[in-house]
Structure 1
Amino acid sequence: MASFGELLCVHTDELVQRWYEQWRQEGPALPEMTEAAIKDHLPVQLRVIGDALREGRASESPRKLWEQHGRLDPEQRVRDAVPIEEVVREYAYVIEAVRGWLTERDEQISVQEYSFFSLAIFELAAESARRFSKYQAERVARERSEYVAGIAHQLRTPVSTLNLYVQQMERAQGALNSRAAERLRRTVGRLSRLVDGILRLERFKPDEIPVHPETVAPAQVIDQLVADYEHDASRKGLRLDIFVNRSARMQVDQDLLVDALGNLIQNAIKYTEKGFVRITLEEHEDEVVFKVEDSGPGISSERQRELFRPVLPGQPGGVGLGLSIAFRAALAQGGTLELESEPGQGSTFRLRLPRAVHARKGQSEGLVETSLEDDAPPAVH
């Protein structure tokens, strides 16, 4: 008497044809689209199960049978717009077809072997569903990324034009007082950095972002960022404390450092209504730690788990875009972004970066690294 594994391998074509007839009889929702969804792969899959049974693996879990991508093609079914519920239903027909075929032939199959077969089909359907979900999530993320990056690219030209006008006004006698011109220039600069940060966020994964290290004095970067946001702090009566070794130097991508540190400082000022914002630089042998503390409302543990997600529309306290930019800028340079906070006790962010960041050349680098001025008319809870 042939074993169940041998039956599956020897009578594969007959079983597939039986499945196909039942599938047609049931009236699939999308017959033209789904006919090949399983039919092209079912012979291979039945033989894989049959070979496992012939090898005496009926007592094992069949879950690992489908780890090899070549035994599935759910991505093609997704691209062909085959609903996952249709795929799962079709695998249910496989079990029904094989059960009916065994009954008609009066084959005596052990419970263990039949259980292995049924679980293998179940795991096959489950793996298809997992891959379907992953493919869909990646597609949605890709489409969102392209949409947001497209908007950011469209912002380049008006921002560049604003920057040009500011320069012209600064040169014009009596057109604008120097204090107002400086404030406008810094506002345009903040907007420019935000656009570039969004482009880096949306165009690349953290481990693909181009990194161009150069020798940087962290104190100078902090001075520039504080100057950008000191008006907002002054308007609230906040005290800005800076504790930095002005002789400190490090090899870092200055644009990415500004992306990360600028957003941390901006958020601290934005969400702190009274008290202080403190920026501290800690030097270690192999790393530099930028610490941004505030006396703000603090962040609940529930909220902390959501902070570094790419986009949080509808969430209180903003969309989380700035912290996402900061988080990815840290990862891109081999660093980390840490948070300590309790409601009512303020927040402390620690940006840890290697003292010497490694360079990385990214694909399609020009899309991100092009300066805003290239688009201008002639003339970073």
Structure 2
Amino acid sequence: MARLASRALGPLGLATLGLVGALAATLALYRAGSAALEQALDARLRGAGASAALLLTDAPASAERLEALMKANALDGVYVVDRKLAVPADATGPARRRVDLLRTDPAGVEAALAGETRVGPGYAMGELQVTVGYFPVRGSGGRVESVLVLEAGRAFSSARDSLRRAVWGGVALSAVGALALALVAARWLRDERARREAAAKAARGEALTKMAAMAAHEIRNPLGVIRGTVELMRERSGAKLSERDKESLEDVLGEVERLRRLTEDLLDLSADRPLAAQRVALSEVLEEAARATEAAFPGVKVRRSFAELPPVEGDAGRLRQVFANLLQNAAQAQGEGEVRLAAEPDGSAVRVRVEDDGPGVPKEVRERLFDLFVTGKANGTGLGLALCRRLVERHGGTVALVPEQRQGSTFEVRLPAAPQAR
């Protein structure tokens, strides 16, 4: 388990490195892009201000000209400040007023009046940062007479917002990518654990089936000798045997037969012996299994409920073994009373249900109930249901324990109908 966890650290480490690398690259690109954007915006504002200042050299500024300049360059404000810090013309407000010192930087105005162009952050309106440019406007004699002030807000900030959104989008994509890698690593770890458990389970099952096959072969020959000897003793003794002795010999033969069936079950589990495939009338097979159960358990009555069933293709003897096993389990669980056996067509298949009113299957073994050597009975071998599943699956069907909705247990077998019958 520790080795498996250490192997999972590889994908998790790659996911972490991928996230860190992607974030670092995104932040580096953001810084480079932000610097380039600021340079472009600064150049754009300087170019607009310089060209406008030249146009105002020979013609006086008017609100109409300033408004046209503002619209042409997508600015938020354009106005002129003279040496007396008055506003002779404004594209968005009244003229002939004192300059608004909350909006205008006196140092920027003084620098422009001295012949210097200055562009930089101005004032803020909520989250909107306004960039302000101060440009000297010279008169006909070359002397600076006034200052052209350009305010760039919404149009310029939209580019910054777009860049910021792109950065956050890159961060989100990096996080999603790292999360996807982490999920892949976690799923790989879970699948790897499941594969290891399945491989270990298969290895144990293979070892058990080999042992079962060896035990069955070793037991079958002595059983034949015991059976033959007991039958010969019964035949030779004849009338000399008392009723009690005859019953004892029958008991011995019964136990020998039980052991023989057990060895056959072990052989069926250890190797897929060929099926005697033929068209089978399933109702006859079910009827035989029901009669055998009633004979073996005199206190139990099997209530049959058969619809008109299509034939199935398979081995009648093996199918009879399946249903006899399920019915015997139901009879043993219930002890006495009525066990229900129902069969009906279900699309291209036949569905058979065996129901009892016993104590039900313990919760701790439900998920592994059909595994080899798993049983819910104190004296069970754990072979019967495993053999049932093996035989049913070899016939192309399924067998399952129906989720408990009442007292007792319900087993459902589905077998495909014969091709012609479909």
Q: TM-score range by the shorter chain?
A: 0.5 to 0.7
| Conserved? CA contact 1:213–1:252, under 8 Å | yes
| AA at the equivalent of 2:181 | I
Alignment of 1:223-302 (within 5 A): 225=289, 232-234=296-298, 237-240=299-302, 250-279=312-341, 287-298=349-360
Matched, 1:84 2:4: yes
Local SS of the residue matching 1:108: helix
| Conserved? CA contact 2:349–2:417, under 8 Å | yes
Give the C-alpha shift of residue 268 in structure 1.
Answer: 1.0
| Conserved? CA contact 1:252–1:355, under 8 Å | no
Give the C-alpha shift of residue 149 in structure 1.
Answer: 0.8
Tell me which residue corresponds to 2:264: 193
Instruction: Select between 257-266 and 113-122 the one with higher mean Cα deviation.
Output: 113-122
Q: Note the residue ranges of structure 1 that are not aligned, 5 or more in a row.
A: 1-80, 204-208, 359-381
Flag the 1:179–1:255 CA change in 2: closer, same or farther, 3 A.
Answer: same
Instruction: Select between 167-176 and 83-92 the one with higher mean Cα deviation.
Output: 167-176
Matched, 1:352 2:414: yes
Flag the 1:122–1:283 CA change in 2: closer, same or farther, 3 A.
Answer: closer
Tell me which residue corresponds to 1:132: 192
Alignment of 1:96-135 (within 5 A): 99=20, 107-108=28-29, 110-135=170-195
Flag the 1:347–1:95 CA change in 2: closer, same or farther, 3 A.
Answer: closer
TM-score of the pair, normalised by structure 1 = 0.53
Between the aligned partners of 2:306 and 2:184, the Cα distance in structure 1 is: 58
| Conserved? CA contact 1:193–1:259, under 8 Å | no
Local SS of the residue matching 2:262: helix
Flag the 1:111–1:305 CA change in 2: closer, same or farther, 3 A.
Answer: same
Give the C-alpha shift of residue 179 in structure 1.
Answer: 3.6
| Conserved? CA contact 1:233–1:240, under 8 Å | no
Between the aligned partners of 1:214 and 1:326, the Cα distance in structure 2 is: 19
Between the aligned partners of 1:304 and 1:124, the Cα distance in structure 2 is: 32
Local SS of the residue matching 1:356: coil
| Conserved? CA contact 1:274–1:295, under 8 Å | no
Between the aligned partners of 1:244 and 1:100, the Cα distance in structure 2 is: 69
Between the aligned partners of 2:287 and 2:16, the Cα distance in structure 1 is: 72
Matched, 1:327 2:389: yes
Local SS of the residue matching 2:413: strand
Instruction: Select between 125-134 and 211-220 the one with higher mean Cα deviation.
Output: 211-220
Flag the 1:164–1:216 CA change in 2: closer, same or farther, 3 A.
Answer: farther
Between the aligned partners of 1:242 and 1:171, the Cα distance in structure 2 is: 40
Give the C-alpha shift of residue 251 in structure 1.
Answer: 3.0
Give the C-alpha shift of residue 336 in structure 1.
Answer: 3.6
Give the C-alpha shift of residue 93 in structure 1.
Answer: 4.0
Give the C-alpha shift of residue 271 in structure 1.
Answer: 0.6
Flag the 1:312–1:167 CA change in 2: closer, same or farther, 3 A.
Answer: closer
The aligned length equals 266
Tell me which residue corresponds to 2:73: none
Local SS of the residue matching 1:114: helix
| Conserved? CA contact 1:297–1:343, under 8 Å | no
Give the C-alpha shift of residue 144 in structure 1.
Answer: 1.9
TM-score of the pair, normalised by structure 2 = 0.49
Between the aligned partners of 1:239 and 1:92, the Cα distance in structure 2 is: 61
Q: Note the residue ranges of structure 2 that are not aligned, 5 or more in a row.
A: 31-169, 238-244
Give the C-alpha shift of residue 313 in structure 1.
Answer: 5.0
Flag the 1:227–1:196 CA change in 2: closer, same or farther, 3 A.
Answer: farther
Give the C-alpha shift of residue 226 in structure 1.
Answer: 5.7
Tell me which residue corresponds to 2:224: 164
Flag the 1:320–1:188 CA change in 2: closer, same or farther, 3 A.
Answer: closer
Aligned-residue RMSD, C-alpha:
4.6
- Highest relative contact order (Cα 8 Å, sep 6+), 1 or 2? 1
Between the aligned partners of 1:232 and 1:319, the Cα distance in structure 2 is: 19
Flag the 1:261–1:122 CA change in 2: closer, same or farther, 3 A.
Answer: same
Local SS of the residue matching 2:335: coil
Between the aligned partners of 2:349 and 2:182, the Cα distance in structure 1 is: 50
Flag the 1:337–1:116 CA change in 2: closer, same or farther, 3 A.
Answer: closer
